[in-house]
Amino acid sequence: MQQAIIAAVLAFATARGLAADFNVRDYGAKGDGMTSNTAALQHAIDAAAGHAGTVVFPPGVYLTGAIFVKSGVTLKLDKGVTLLGSRNIDDYPMMPTRIAGIEMRWPAALVNVYRQENAAIVGEGTIDGDGKVFWDQYWALRKDYAPRGLRWAADYDARRPRLVQVFDSSGVKVGGGLLLRRSGFWTVHVCYSNKVTVDGVTIDNNEEGHGPSTDGIDIDSSRQVLVANADIAVNDDAVVLKSGRDADGLRVNRPTEDVVIHDVKVRFSKGGIVFGSETSGGFRNIEAYRLTFDQNTPVGILFKSAHTRGGWGENIRLHDITMTGTPVVMRVTMNWNPAYSYASIPADVKLVPEHWKVMATPVPAEQGIAHFRDVKIWNIKASGAKTAFEVAAFAQAPLQNFRFDGIDIEAKGGGYIRDAQDWQFGTTRLRLPADAPVQVGGDSRVNGLPSGTFVVSAPEKQG
């Protein structure tokens, strides 16, 4: 009888062009925090898919494994509703995806939009990954791997579910007041997708200890992406743009482009607005503004790559950024974290996983160094910094045509700028100790820094 009533309501709504609501309770879901609801929630989503419907929840805590939002469906989590992730990795099916710049099979996220169109995940409810079990497993594996020269493999072998994944999809919305917390790995991963909006999210991965690699929002080889109105506390990069790693990333060769990021408050992270370290496919047409960082973000503006990554960045615009106590205002490093960045398979490993072979594939030297150019940075206000600039690339691939204006930095030291060509500073105020100016490498061309704020020194080469 109940199914007949549901069918009649759907027929009535469809006949009048109305988007029907699909209540998960009608498909057997229980919000008691103990019952596994994976099948029931998926049943409700699948039913809604045929009617461009909205999946709704009575208040409660719904324990679930991976679920997949389909084309035309809105998953609506109202205030008082929590999706609680299973602690059992078997509840997240292995699927083809890209993880940290490498295409491979990996556990699905808790909530997925996977090869779909015009879907949404919205509301003022909560998606809680309950990720500590996965964090602990990662630390245990890394403790085993690091002494064996396998630090680079730990993030790929400790398989952990992301919280929200948008993969190879278009026309997707995430936000509307969502609280995203305790992700097992990256929190929101937008990969190979276009026309994606992440607007109105609070991300908090700081409970129960240090959640490794719990990035906030990762935009990965995607285009036409908007990120807005986010409040982020994570244990890795807050908002980060990526485009592939090493030989595999160069093979895929998909840039991240046409991205706008604005009105983001970062409360805790390793980097505020970040490019890399996966740079292989390149970046273009990126704008970020009205961002705020504090002392719990070590680096405000960060570009990072490695000499096997390759790739490029151009037409990047960063402006109206406020940093209070952020230790390093701007860092550029093209030889980032060698223990993680460079894969070398030890000779005593006999059964080599396929993804290790992919990661260890050599990259020709001429293809391995990233090139960044045409970057504009303006209206930056930073106080209480330790260092203004920590900038170094490679002599054969200098950072070209960076433009600065409206810069106001108070710091304990100016730091250094090396491997920079055609850098121009407009209106710039650097409040630095007299004995700690910005040091500019002898092979760099940097114009417009205030008189007396820098000295010339010999360039220092990276390894």
Q: Are 229 and 266 in contact (CB under 8 A)?
A: no
Nearest to 379 by CA among 399, 406, 357: 406
**Rounded mean pLDDT for each run of 10 residues along the chain, 463 residues in total:** 51 55 98 98 97 97 98 98 98 98 98 98 98 97 96 97 98 98 98 98 88 96 98 97 98 98 98 98 98 98 98 98 98 97 95 97 96 98 98 96 98 97 97 94 92 51 45
What residue ranges do the domains of the chain occupy? 23-457
3-state secondary structure the chain: CHHHHHHHHHHHHHHCCCCCEEEHHHHCCCCEEEEECHHHHHHHHHHHHCCCCEEECCCEEEEECCEECCCCCEEECCCCEEEEECCCHHHCCEEEEEECCEEEEEECCCEEEECCEEEEEECCCEEECCCHHHHHHHHHHHHHHHHHCCHHHHHHHCCCCCCEEEECCEEEEEEEEEEEECCCCCCEEEECCEEEEEEEEEEECCCCCCCCCCCCEEEECCEEEEEEEEEEECCCEEEEEECCCHHHHHHHCCCEEEEEEEEEEEEECCEEEEECCCCCCCEEEEEEEEEEECCCCCEEEEEECCCCCCCEEEEEEEEEEEEECCCEEEEEECCCCHHHHCCCCCCCCCCCCHHHHHHCCCCCHHHHCCEEEEEEEEEEEEEEEEEEEEEECECCECEEEEEEEEEEEEEEEEEEECCEECEEECCEEEECCCCCCEEEECCCCEECCCCCCEEEECCCCCC
Q: Are 62 and 81 in contact (CB under 8 A)?
A: yes
> Judging by DSSP bridges, how do beta strands 102-107 and 94-99 pair with one another?
antiparallel
Enter the tokens of residue 55: 């999946």
Q: Are 216 and 196 in contact (CB under 8 A)?
A: no
Q: Are 259 and 225 in contact (CB under 8 A)?
A: yes
What pLDDT is attached to residue 463? 42
What pLDDT is attached to residue 16? 44
pTM of the model: 0.94
What pLDDT is attached to residue 12? 44
What pLDDT is attached to residue 129? 98
Q: How far apart are CA 453 and CA 404, in angstroms?
A: 15
- Residues 298-317 have pLDDT tens digits of 999 999 999 999 999 999 99
Q: Which CATH architecture has domain 23-457?
A: 3 Solenoid (2.160)
- Residues 60-102 have pLDDT tens digits of 999 999 999 999 999 999 999 999 999 999 999 999 999 999 9
Beta bridge partners of 205: none
What is the overall mean pLDDT for the chain?
A: 94
What pLDDT is attached to residue 424? 97
Terminal C-alpha separation, the chain? 72
One-letter amino acid of 155: D
The gap from C-alpha 32 to its chain's centroid, in whole angstroms, comes to 32
Q: How far apart are CA 438 and CA 459, in angstroms?
A: 13
Q: Are 250 and 363 in contact (CB under 8 A)?
A: yes
